[in-house]
Structure 1
Amino acid sequence: MQHRRRAIHAAQALSCAIAFAATAAGAQQDEAVRAAVPQARLVGEAPMRWFGLPIYDARLFAPAGFDALELARHAFVLELTYRRALRGRDIARRSIEEMRRAPSFPEDRAGRWESELAAVLPDVQPGDRIAGVHTPGGGAAFIVNGRRAGEIADAQFARLFFGIWLAPHTSEPGLRAALLGSAQR
């Protein structure tokens, strides 16, 4: 009986340590988000599921006055917290597929953008966070688990990339509506 109690206490201590580590990683990421767009506030959040399987939880941070129909004018952060392991190159490939939904997708840039994105995005495990930071006129920077991972300095790429989640032509209109909340039009 005493051995069982020790095992339970050890399991509880391990659970607390894991929860603390996840909270610390989340706080670190939130600090990086605040540094990237200092006046940003949480606009909306939602889980992304594929055939019922949880893929990631998404959160959009933007300053007051954010207008979803004028994405290119605003600094904002879109943060994804992954719920399953995925390869970075698969995330990059899928991102390009989703970007192709845009009516003005430049097919001649697809290969270059996929390579650049694959170079920035790591393989992810459950709990990993990737934040995309939109800079008006400048492109997209990426923060992985609180550390800057790289940037794609191309405004057209950024518009199409963030459009995966935020543009009216998204493949996930429910996710878009939840992320945009009151900023939706």
Structure 2
Amino acid sequence: MAFLKETRPYPLRLIFDSLRAALLVIALLVPSGLAASVVSKELNNAQLLGSGTFRFLGLPLYDAKLYTPGGAPFSWNEDFGLELTYRKNLTQKALVNSTLEEIARQGNNAPTRAQLEQCFQAVSKGDTYLAISQGPNVIGFWRNGRKTCTLSYSGAKRGFMSIFLGSNTRSASFTSQLKGQ
């Protein structure tokens, strides 16, 4: 009998090992799956329009996806969703500072530092932020599928989203890819 225990695995152990492996796979897939479900829930008939990788000095910082209703061409007059999946670890301070600097560089209305600190947390490689516009003055933010804040100020959509989609972005080719051009 002892010989059988050594050569034949215990049936419950096989089941638990299989369940553990399945849970690991699900856990690895959850952040992107949650972001996709959030954009579908929050943006009517959301479909991917374009995607691209933003690089700084040749190093990839994040992958981005732009969702529009029905995959329609990009328009500032319509709501849309922008998802960023980070390839590097970044501090909250770096996210807030770079956002404020880019908005100021473009001459757009900006939120307060306190508003951005409420919305943005430090990110690690693989973390996802999703921003969905809700009219011209409101943007909802989700980090890894969980709502972090609602940013509300005059011209919020154009002010914030111009960092990625405006006419004066840091990378015209990246912006064109996002817009599906």
Partner secondary structure for residue 180 of structure 2: helix
**Cα distance per residue 1:100-120 (max 9 Å; x no partner):** 2324x35xxx5x522211221
Moved more, 16-25 or 56-65: 16-25
Structure 1 residue 155, shift from structure 2 partner: 3.9
Instruction: Tell me whether 1:57 sits opposite 2:63 in the alignment.
Output: yes
The count of residues paired between Structure 1 and Structure 2 equals 162
Q: Paired residue for 1:93, among 94, 97, 105?
A: 97
Residue identity opposite 1:57 in structure 2: D
Q: What CA RMSD, in Å, does the superposition of the two structures yield over aligned residues?
A: 2.2
Taking structure 1 as the reference length, the TM-score comes to: 0.79
Residue identity opposite 2:174 in structure 1: L
Taking a change above 3 Å as real, the CA distance of residues 130 and 160 of structure 1, as seen in their structure-2 partners, is: same
Partner secondary structure for residue 132 of structure 1: strand
Taking a change above 3 Å as real, the CA distance of residues 138 and 150 of structure 1, as seen in their structure-2 partners, is: same
**Larger radius of gyration between Structure 1 and Structure 2:** 2
Partner secondary structure for residue 57 of structure 1: strand
Identity rate of aligned residues, in percent?
A: 26
Instruction: Tell me whether 1:169 sits opposite 2:161 in the alignment.
Output: no
Partner secondary structure for residue 181 of structure 1: coil
Residue identity opposite 1:32 in structure 2: V
**Gapped regions of structure 1 (runs ≥ 5):** 1-13
Whether the aligned pair in 2 keeps the contact of 1:88 and 1:124 (CA below 8 Å) is yes
**Gapped regions of structure 2 (runs ≥ 5):** 1-19
Structure 1 residue 19, shift from structure 2 partner: 5.3
Partner secondary structure for residue 78 of structure 1: strand
**Cα distance per residue 1:137-161 (max 9 Å; x no partner):** 3411101110110011124132111
Q: Higher helix fraction: Structure 1 or Structure 2? A: 1
